Amino acid sequence: MTVAGAGAYGGSSVWIALPPGTKARDLAQDLQEDGVLIEPGDRFFAGDDVPQHFARLAYSSIPASRIAQGVARIAARIGKG
């Protein structure tokens, strides 16, 4: 997975680009079983053929001590961990 875009100050979430062929909606459903919530990015695009491999990860309401564990669970689900 890759951070999508350049860093900036502020905000409460980060966008990630998932590996090609990974559908964010399917991944989000699988991750719920692991206690991790991600937001599929397709709803933030306009048009008929929107990309399916982007997701938004919110971090403002999660204790910092839990973020690394959540990222590790995401990586494991997409085969990078």
Q: Which tens digit of pLDDT belongs to each residue from 9-47?
A: 667 888 999 998 999 999 999 999 999 999 999 999 999
Q: What is the pLDDT of residues 43-75, one digit of tens each?
A: 999 999 999 999 999 888 889 899 999 999 999
How high is the pLDDT of residue 11?
73
Residue 3 has pLDDT above 70, yes or no: no
How high is the pLDDT of residue 1?
61
How high is the pLDDT of residue 6?
60
Residue 76 has pLDDT above 70, yes or no: yes
Cβ 30 vs Cβ 77: under 8 Å: yes
What is the 8-class DSSP label of residue 10? S
